[in-house]
Structure 1
Amino acid sequence: MKKVVIIGGMAAGCKTAARLRRLEPDTEIVIVEKLPFVSFGTCGMPFFASGEVESFDDLMSTAWGTVRTPEFFHNAKNVKVLTETTCTKIVPEHNFVEIVDKFGKKSILSYDFLVVATGSKPIEPPFIYPQSERISFFHSPTDAKKFRHLAEQGKISNATIIGGGFVGCELAEAVTSLWGIDLTLIEKENCLLSRSFDPEISNVLNSLFQSNGINVLVNTIVNQIEQKNDTLIVHTSKGNIETDYVFLTLGVKPNVELAEKSGITLGACGGIYVDETLRTNFENLFAAGDCIEINNLVTHKKDVFALGSLANRQGRVVADNISGLESTFKGAVGSISLKVFDTIFASTCISTSCCYKDSISFSFACASFYDRPHYYPEAKVLFAKALYEKESGRLLGLQMCGKGEVTRYVDIFTVLLERGATYKDLLDVEHCYTPSHSSPLNPLNYLGGIIENQERFGITPVSSVEFEKYRKEWNIMDLRKENEIKEMPLDCEFIHIDYDNWRSEIQKLDLSSRILCVCQKGPRSLEIAISLKHLGAKKVGYLAGGLQILNSAL
């Protein structure tokens, strides 16, 4: 009988086991998991910490309400699950692993195939901090349970989150929305979620947090944490913060110590190196999930994506190949989303900072538009920023946010990225149209048209974060109506020319000067910028996405 041992009982490991059981009803499958839990929804932990999800068992349950315990896996799937059991050694040359259970009992498991799905682990802070029940990561169920226990006892009136990535941002809403805890969120980079979002979109998130009472500190370095009785003092580059609880959410990295000391090859990014079949350097040894590095289908370099969506797909590929089916995982682009205070933020692949890091020559388009016709009562404003390679036009990444339809357009863009599409392909995206949920042209069509116009007519797009510099050096032409200007004033000198009457007022402009057109959302200013080019203007730009993005006004 074939024997398969899986180290790690979360997304990738459990998916491998479930798929393999469907393919091979007689294979012996054993999952080794060091935690007391198996197959729980890690992404749901913020909702458990906040109290929105009442029981932790809900994060381990099936859609029909059965909790995924070791007994469930045994009875329903004939898979043996060893919880609170640690794999201490892999001996790939002789096809066995050594394990230790919670009582210290050691034993050996032999295998025909081994799957390493050890996941990720929190990045340790570079600063000194004490061991305290009031300081924790937010990576395992015990972290969520510890915080919730103290919150339920009323022992936390204020808290601090160090790290403004996805976990930190999702946790921020959870901490404040139900427990009413005063919160400070600290991020060392110049914006939140800096790997996935540029400041134009991240600033919206910052404003959202601030308007909901969360104190956000960006460009802030934490130097040390000390404790005096039940009070923690966080020493930062912008002063000291006294707090009752600190979450350390500085990101995660592949958990590969076991693999490394067993002779399994690691890659340049620190993850386990696998081929497209997810095999390691040993023929019968596979790896999947957060512990591996894979191909980035846009940069064509190795990358690490700690995403449950990818881990589940990888588990299926591993099971197929163990069963003799030809299955591959060619790579990913890293699509993510989160919802904060009823606003959805989503992105796929690389941001501006990544382009600079990889020396990619790029340009961008920013846009502000409705997710359905403006006249429809439920129309919502969306913000978007698309990046593309300057010379080839190849798409590089998309960032969007809004209270309406967001993720479906990022999902479509992801497919285009994987196919090596250019911005011209955005013009050909077909969608379902009815005024109740979409416009005749979808956001991707708009972005394709914007980029095509920028490139064809040589129009300079100016982002909201660049506006401060441009307004000092260029002549600003405001094309809005008087009531729009009153509702959202422009805090600088400008020439007002109403878009509806611009042809009769063009004499106000010096076409030999540098002209920056602005409007509420961007389309009017881009159109007039093109017209000014036709009239002989030498240097024309427009505020990409309009004043709505500049003011983070969803």
Structure 2
Amino acid sequence: MGNIKQNIVIIGGMAAGCKTAARLKRISPDFNVTIIEKKSFVSYGTCGMPFFASGEIDGFYSLAKTPWGRIRDAEYFQKAKGINVLTETLVEKIDYNKKLVECLDIKNGNRFSLTFDKLVISTGAKAKKPLFPVPDFEKISTFHNPLDAKKIRELAQTGKIGKAVIIGGGSICCELAESLAGLWGIETHLVELEDRLLPTSLDKEMSRFLEKTFISNEINLHLSSRVEKVLENDEGNPVVYLINGEEIDSDYVFLCIGIEPEVELARSIGVSIGESGGISVDSQMRTNLENVWAGGDCVEVKSLITGKPDLFPYGSLANRQGRVIANSIAGLKSELKGASGAISLKVFGLITASCGLSENNAINEGFNAGVVWGSWHDRPDFHPDAKSLLGKMIYEKGTMKLLGLQLMGRGEVTRYIDVFSVLISNGATANDFLDVEHAYTPPHSSPLNPLNSLGAMAISQEEGGIKALNPLLLEQFDGNILDIREPFEISNTPLGKDAKEYPIMEYRNQINEFDKDEPLLIICQKGPRSYEAVRTFINAGFSNVQYIGGGYQFSKVII
């Protein structure tokens, strides 16, 4: 492309850094690109750490291989990409005015400097330090570095961990819990400060499905539990002390209380740090300093829902950011509009996915949040492979703007989150859900998909008064209950509450049995029949009637 030869130095050799380097050499081959990484490896798929720890993935470097089996090491980047990679090299200082990066070779202690014309900071994130006392010894660690996964696998393989405590309830914690308990047979305790798992992504009723899955797989949950301290006992093992007085003995403790951007180098040269703690960048990933870009877990980007800067430490996003950085350096037009926070994980066969804001977060952000719930099969009921899905959608009342979606099940889940991510990123409303066209075939989907249904329910709730009750609140409901399920459904899954039972073929003839002024809750198995029945009662003059969101199938799973 006729570029003047320039030195591009990239600090950090994981997703964002390596993507920037590879893309840049493709479009600007004359550039001299160097990656500096303090670890002994680069381009490592850290999201796969729990699967290596569990033994599902064989070799440590399997997470650093190309699809054709070549390890993405320094030699690979040099010979295949023309990129210089310095591993086990620590950046001690950046002299921005002189355009120098001062480095330490960890292997031999030698110090040297590299000049740069353009600088990319992709220093990633670091594990948060706990606010409670923790001794510094070998049986307590984070689960953030790939070397942590390697250590745990070696200990598990040699039978040196019989009981473990995970402090934290985020995605990596849930996957680690499955690895320890499900595949190594280790007695596992998970301690979370909030009242739910995945607290930044799920609301309580959705978390309950995940919680019950964990409990059924013999993982001991300690929710709404604050750690007071961790001490070493006389046997040389860690003990976790909770504020409520509970003590949990263990052979190993994992500190997984979250991560925070690694920004010290950036701050040292005057790069602006945002309110969230990440490096502040524009849509081209440029910092406030000329010729300095940043990407990956160390940056903050705009939330496409709130419009505010936030942290989105996801490998998928880091790769996209790397492309934008490379294009920007090369003078090509490219932007990252922001992020919606789409996540997914699979534990014990249950797929959990979300995108956007939870109801709790939406309220905290000042939105007048409306909510609907649904329960479906991921393909027609008649299909032998049909599996149940549970979902919750959050929207803004009035504007009907989409705010968030949470889905769980053992079948087709993430495809709907992916579609939702595109819609929410473009400011879509619940009305747009009605226009979602999907590829329909019975082996993979139903004629109407969950997004179509959720959109219709939200519109009916706001425009027609067809109100849904949180399925978690079924036991607390005080009023009359009408169960319109078929007798065999009631026999198979009894409600356990006093209710009048009139199936869908009969209830219309019994409307006069109910007082129009008293609260009435209508229940069916999945929601559609009771949703329709609420409209019938409203048309008959009832003013205080609602259906259980997602039907009794939803409530039964989570209560």
Do both share a fold (TM > 0.5)?
A: yes
SS, match of residue 447 in structure 2: coil
1:459 alignment counterpart:
466
Quick one: distance in 1 between partners of 2:473 and 2:97?
58
Pairing 1:43-442 to 2, within 5 Å after superposition: 43-102=47-106, 103-228=108-233, 229-238=235-244, 239-442=246-449
| Local SS of the residue matching 2:307 | coil
Select the residue among 13, 17, 42 that pairs with 2:17.
13
User: 8 Å contact 1:200–1:549 — kept in the other structure?
Assistant: no
- Alpha-carbon spacing, 1:167–1:51, altered in 2? closer, same or farther (3 Å): same
* Structure 1 position 492, deviation (Å): 2.2
Contact residue 208 and residue 558 of structure 2 kept, 8 A: no
Tell me the distance in 1 between the aligned counterparts of 2:452 and 2:183.
39
1:299 alignment partner, SS class: coil
- Could you tell me the TM-score, scaled by structure 2's length? 0.97
Residues in 2 aligned to 1:282 and 1:553: alpha-carbon distance in whole angstroms: 51
Is the contact between residue 54 and residue 180 of structure 2 (CA under 8 Å) also seen in structure 1?
yes
The size of the alignment, in residue pairs, is: 552
CA distance in 1, matches of 2:64, 2:318: 17
Give the residue type in structure 2 aligned to 1:216.
Answer: L
Structure 1 CA distance for aligned equivalents of residues 171 and 361 of structure 2: 17
Report deviation, 1:61.
0.6
1:513 alignment counterpart? 518
How far 1:27 moved relative to its partner? 1.1
CA contact 1:92–1:282 (8 Å) conserved in 2 = no
Secondary structure of the residue aligned to 2:521 is strand
Q: What residue number does 1:484 align with? A: 489
Partners in 2 of 1:22 and 1:361 — Cα distance? 47
Cα deviation for residue 295 of structure 1 reads 0.6
Mapped to 1, the partners of 2:207 and 2:518 lie a distance apart of 33
| Cα deviation digits, residues 534-554 of structure 1 (max 9, x gap) | 000011111101121112279
Q: Following the alignment from structure 1 to structure 2, what is the Cα–Cα distance between the partners of residues 254 and 552?
A: 37
After TM superposition, give the deviation of residue 89 of structure 1 in Å.
Answer: 1.3
Preserved CA contact (<8 Å) 1:338 1:346: yes
> Using the alignment, how far apart are the partners of 1:548 and 1:326 within structure 2?
50
Aligned to 1:440, the other structure's residue is in SS state coil
Q: Measure how far apart 1:508 and its partner are.
A: 2.2
Alpha-carbon distance in 1 for matches of 2:358, 2:96: 39
User: 1:203 Cα deviation (Å)?
Assistant: 0.6
Question: Structure 2: how far apart are the matches of 1:25 and 1:454?
Answer: 57
Conserved? CA contact 1:271–1:291, under 8 Å: yes
Match of 1:524 among 526, 529, 543: 529
Q: 1:412-466, CA deviations, whole angstroms, 9 ceiling, x for partnerless residues? A: 0111101111101000000111111111111111111111221222122111223
For structure 1, list consecutive stretches of 5 or more residues without a partner in the other structure: none
The letter of the residue matching 1:233 is V
Q: Secondary structure at the match of 1:270?
A: coil
Take 1:88 and 1:390, find their aligned partners in 2: how far apart are those partners? 51
Question: Which structure 2 segments of 5+ residues have no match?
Answer: none
> Cα RMSD over matched residues?
1.2
Given candidates 506, 530, 535, the residue that maps to 1:501 is 506
Distance 1:550 1:360 in 2: 26
1:21-47 deviation line (CA, Å, top 9, x unaligned): 101112111100011111110001001
Task: Give deviations 1:467-496, integer Å, cap 9, x for gaps.
Answer: 333x2x221211112222222222322222
2:44 to 40, 47, 63: 40
Please report how far the alpha carbon of residue 137 of structure 1 lies from its aligned counterpart in structure 2 after TM superposition: 0.4
Matched, 1:450 2:457: yes
Is residue 10–residue 40 contact of structure 1 (8 Å, CA) maintained in 2?
Answer: yes
Amino acid at match of 2:241: H
Does the 8 Å CA contact 2:212/2:558 hold for their aligned counterparts?
no
SS in 2 for 1:436: coil
1:71 Cα shift?
1.1
Q: Given the alignment of the two structures, is residue 539 of structure 1 paired with residue 549 of structure 2, yes or no?
A: no
Distance in 1, Cα, partners of 2:39 & 2:288? 28
In structure 1, the residue corresponding to 2:383 is in which secondary structure?
A: coil
Identity within the alignment, %: 47
Contact 2:472-2:558 at 8 Å conserved across structures: no
